[in-house]
Amino acid sequence: MGQGSGFGKVILFNEHFVVHGVPAIVAAIGMRTTAAVSRISGGFEYEDNRPATPKYKEDKLSQQKDSIDNIFNAMNLEKKGVRIVLGGDLYAASGVGASAASCVAIARALSDEFDLNYSDDAINRVAYEGEKGYHGVPSGIDNTASTYGGLIWFIKGKENIMERMHLARPVNIVMGNTGKVADTMAAVAGVKERKGKYPEKYDNIFKSAEEVAFKGRKALESFDLEAVGKLMNENHKLLQEIEVSNDDLDGLVNTARENGAIGAKMTGGGLGGYMVALTPEKSVQEKVASAIKKKGFRVLKTTIGI
């Protein structure tokens, strides 16, 4: 049996802006999706045992099928005589890199089962093709984080730029899940449309986002967490301005800040899915997590910089 896994991720700065070539920063989180591939006598079988937001799997079913087809094509494999079982501790929901983690896990498990010996770079390329099933034309940031792990400075381009960043030590975060399944493809298309319609307004916002990325990198690398938190707040404002946040996300961001988070923002595709709060102190992480839970939302307590 072939086995593989992919990390979940959290975008700390500049989701959406990254699609248009603005630098972004992403961190892998400790939770993963796993895939097991075995051979069967014919046909194709698929079992999705990931824990998930209600309706997530149903809503993503047709995109997931396209994604798996893309993966088999990219690997020159026939989608026949194969059974894939997905699992792991990454809660499948919007905003946490669930689609990318599944693409990476499946590509790794297929490579393992068919003795293809794919390098990380090759897995990342295949996972990018898989991501197209979910995102249309993704920036590639999610599959990159899901493949390599760690903390990454990412710029989409003809050749993507990926630089590893280092944190002095791991930092606690809380991720709050609105429970709403979001369509990343539609959110990305919306930004593109409004950017074309209001070029001046969007140019200014995009310039500010670029500045936030550079300052964010400096703050993370010098371990100035107060500055990181402030920049996350600024980034959330910019994401509100390009209309990818919503009331649930804004509400959870405010709850996190009111309970001591030093910064909070939506993360990922937006319009639902997850937000992230920076809570270096364990007691603050607990307090923010329980405040979000009390409001009836699911939380994930994890660390970045692993």
The smaller minimum CB distance to ligand MEV, of residues 60 and 135, is found at 135
Establish if 272 lies at the interface with ligand MEV (CB under 6 A): no
What gap in Å lies between CA 244 and CA 203, rounded to an integer?
A: 16
Q: Residue 96 in contact with residue 274, Cβ under 8 Å? A: yes
Chain-centroid distance of CA 70 in Å reads 19
Please choose, out of 61-69, 80-88, 131-139, 229-237, the segment that lies near ligand MEV by the rule CB under 6 A: 131-139
Q: Cβ of residue 73: shortest distance to ligand MEV, in angstroms?
A: 20
Establish if 19 lies at the interface with ligand MEV (CB under 6 A): yes
Chain-centroid distance of CA 63 in Å reads 16
Among 6, 7, 12, 16, binds ligand MEV (CB under 6 A): 16
CA angle 257, 263, 264 (to 5 degrees): 75
Establish if 138 lies at the interface with ligand MEV (CB under 6 A): yes
Q: Which of residues 30-69 bind ligand MEV (CB under 6 A)?
A: none
E-assigned strand segments in 166-292: 171-177, 263-267, 274-278
Q: Is 142 a catalytic residue?
A: yes
What gap in Å lies between CA 266 and CA 261, rounded to an integer?
A: 13
Please choose, out of 42-50, 69-77, 78-86, 133-141, the segment that lies near ligand MEV by the rule CB under 6 A: 133-141
Secondary structure of residue 183 in the 3-state scheme: coil
Establish if 262 lies at the interface with ligand MEV (CB under 6 A): no
Establish if 141 lies at the interface with ligand MEV (CB under 6 A): yes
**Token duo for residue 10:** 């959290």
The smaller minimum CB distance to ligand MEV, of residues 18 and 171, is found at 18
Q: Cβ of residue 268: shortest distance to ligand MEV, in angstroms?
A: 4
Task: Print the binding letters for residues 150-189 with ligand MEV: x by CB under 6 A, - otherwise.
Answer: ----------------------------------x---x-
What gap in Å lies between CA 82 and CA 43, rounded to an integer?
A: 7
Q: How many residues bind ligand MEV (CB under 6 A)?
A: 14
DSSP bridge partners of 85: 36, 47
Catalytic residue among 112, 142, 183, 248: 142
b/e for 195-220, b at 16 or more Cβ within 10 A? beeeeeebeebbebbeebbebbbebb
Catalytic residues: 142
Residue numbers of the site for ligand MEV (CB under 6 A)?
11, 15-16, 18-19, 135, 138-139, 141-142, 184, 188, 268-269
